[in-house]
Structure formats: structure tokens, C-alpha cells
Amino acid sequence: MVIGFDAKYMLDDKGGLGHYGRLSLEALTEHCQRNDYILYTPDTHDGTTGINKLLVHASIHLKTPHSASFGDKWRTGKGILKDAHRHGVQVFHGLSGMLPEGIEDSGMATVVTIGSLLHKRYSGDFSFFEKMRINRQLKATLKRADAVVAMSEFSKREIMEHYGVAAEKIRVIMPVCESHFSKELSEQVMEVHRANYVLPEKYILASGNFDERHNLTKVVEALAKIDDKDVCMVIVGHRNSYYEKLKQMASQLGVSGRIVRIKKVHETDLPAVYKMASVVVCPSRYECASLSIPRAFKAEVPVVAATGSCMEEYGGDAALYFSPDSADELADALNRALGAEREALLEAEKVQAEKFASARLANQLNELYRELKDNLK
């Protein structure tokens, strides 16, 4: 089969859809080698760093418009469709929540991956015109698509609720985790990383951006309540108003000395930061997918996660959960993960981690592509 991808965010985007696209393509090239994969992007001005290791595969081809001035106009309209038709694309996969206008009449089968519907859940963070633009684009794309990929059952329900998409049109295909999270690292290597990032001996790695949705202040509250006062909290990000709020709360609770902020972790160092953690906590109030949970499973670290979105699907019986509004519940879960239930959680993770195997994702996507192609006949 010849599969075309909208690869704009695959090239260098660090967000969820960028990761999902790159890891999906990596899995497909490893397990479904008979296909050709054509990546369409309006330009390569910012480089191709994110996919350089994928471009070495003979089955992957990167395509841009003949003129750089076409840009997004080419990507969203007839330009990309003409090129895809010329390249023999049979199935087109929109990896950034959109499909080109007119693709429904192109003779290609179509599928689109939809990420978080933040404009619905956190509408106050978007202007009226932003919400109108996103809504219009999503409605049009969902109408054009032959199939929709959601990254969780939670996300599937949201798409059905807000956009009226039929359940049978949506496939839930969870993302995979980067393979290097499961590689063994020597104590010497990990201690080098500990020194480079000035990491404490025992720490909770709290995932998420510095904002209200990611709920990191709840972890600070719980930190003050857990039994082991030698355990610190490690967060990653740049200073902003939310971080100042977090610092103020830590000072009031007497745990300022136990908060460690890292500005940025290089992607190749991230597995070590995970592996050295005592627990990974995912406190976010809203996620349609989670990379932190499968990463923690691969790194063999216990997971504690908030209820209310996709986390329970991703963690299954291999994680502990808490209400995102309850520091007491979080502290209790952390105590259990740090103590009596640690080994049982690590054992359960081995089974749950199989949900995030690259072969599973590749086979699910390839089966979907084949079904869509065959339905065109």
C-alpha cells in the first residue's frame, strides 16, 4: 500500500500529535515494511531533526511543494491532493487533526487522528475566533474522513459527544513508547545524569506543564503529607506565573527545599531521569493520551495518576489513582507506591506495558489502512 501523511507536526513538534506521528511511523516501518510511506510537509525551514532517523528507510519519502511560497495553502487544499494522486497514494492519514479540502472526492481513503479537545474543555484559554476556527476545521475534517483515530476510549467519547461522530467510525489506537526507555542503563551512567541535572537521591517525577490543567500544585500539597520526608519532587519547565504560585505554596507548606526544577531535559537523557525516579505522578485534570505512563512502565517505575480522563485506561491495574482535587488521596497513593505496594505495581506493569508495544500499534494501523483501501473498490 501507499500511505500518505500530513507530516507538518511530525518534523519537529514536541507536542502529543508530533510524538504520536513519529512513533507511529517508526512502528510501521519496523513491522509493515511492504508499504510506502509518503510524508507531506509545507516546508522544511525548521529542519527535519525529529524524523532524520526515519528518513534512512527506503520506504519513507519526504515531499514538499514545488514552491516554498505555497506553504499551508498547498497543505490544506488542491496542491497536496494533486501531488498525492501523482504519487499513487491510496490512503491519506491526517496526523494533525485536519484533512485537505476536497480530499473526499479524490479517490483516496482517508483517516484523521484527533488529539485533545482543549477548546471545549478549557474554552476560557481560547479567543472566540480561535474556537470558531478550530470548530469549523474539526467539523469539516470529521465529515471528510472515512475513519477517525482516537488515542483513548475517553477521547473517543469526547469526539462523539462534541461532534456527533458515530462510534463505528472511530478506532481507538493507543500510542507507543520510545524504545530507549526500556534499555538498561548502568549505575555509572545514571549517576552522571544525576550530577548533570542535580537530581536528589529519592524523588517523585511530576509530569506536566506549568499550568492549572496539569495540577502540579496538588503534588506539592501531597509532598508535605507523605511519610518519607527525604523524598523530593522534580518538575521540568521554564518559570512562569504558575511556577511562582507553586513556589509560594511550597514555601507555605515548608517543602521549598524539596522542590527541584529542571529547565529542560534533553530527549536522550529522559529515560535516565525516569529510571532514577522513585515514582512518576501524572496529576493532570485532562488528557486524551499519556506518554508519561507507558514511559514509566518501560523504565520500571511505579505510577500514580489522576482520575477523570484517559489515565485509568493507560495505567490499568498497574497504577494507583487519586481524585485530582484531593491531596490526601494523592499522598496516600504515593505512600503506597513508595512502600508496601511498589513491587506488586512493578510486576503488574510488565503486563500493562504490552498495550504500548510497537507491533500492536503498527498492526492496528495497517489493518485500518487495508480496510479503508479495500472499501474503495
Tell me the domains of the chain and their CATH numbers.
Answer: 2-176+357-375 (3.40.50.2000), 179-356 (3.40.50.2000)
Residue with the three cell numbers 507553586: 246
Give just the sign of the alpha carbon dihedral 373, 36, 40, 96. positive
Phi, psi dihedral angles at 122 (to 5 degrees) = -125, 60
pTM confidence score: 0.91
Task: Specify which residues 91 forms β-bridges with.
Answer: 3, 109
Q: Which of 96, 157, 122, 167 has the alpha carbon at shortest distance from 309?
A: 157
Locate 7 and state its grid cell: 507530516
Burial class (CB in 10 A: 0-12, 13-18, 19+), 247: middle
Number of Cβ within a 10 Å radius of residue 312: 17
Task: Give CA–CA dist 341/337, Å, rounded.
Answer: 5
Cα three-residue angle 229-233-239, rounded to 5 degrees: 140
Task: Give CA–CA dist 233/79, Å, rounded.
Answer: 50
Q: Which of 213, 242, 207 has the alpha carbon at shortest distance from 124?
A: 213
332 dihedral zone (left: phi>0; alpha: psi -120 to 50; beta): alpha
State residue 48's pLDDT score. 62
DSSP 8-state code for residue 178: P
Single-letter amino acid, residue 115: G
Task: Give CA–CA dist 102/83, Å, rounded.
Answer: 13
State residue 11's pLDDT score. 75
Task: Give CA–CA dist 169/92, Å, rounded.
Answer: 16
Task: Give CA–CA dist 140/135, Å, rounded.
Answer: 9
Give pLDDT < 50 ranges for the chain. Answer: 69
Task: Give CA–CA dist 143/105, Å, rounded.
Answer: 12
State residue 376's pLDDT score. 81
State residue 331's pLDDT score. 98
pLDDT in tens, 102-133: 998 899 999 999 989 999 999 889 999 999 99
State residue 47's pLDDT score. 60
Task: Give CA–CA dist 279/289, Å, rounded.
Answer: 19
Percentage of the residues of the chain whose pLDDT score is greater than 70: 95
How high is the mean pLDDT of the chain?
91
State residue 43's pLDDT score. 74
State residue 161's pLDDT score. 96
Count of residues making up the chain: 377
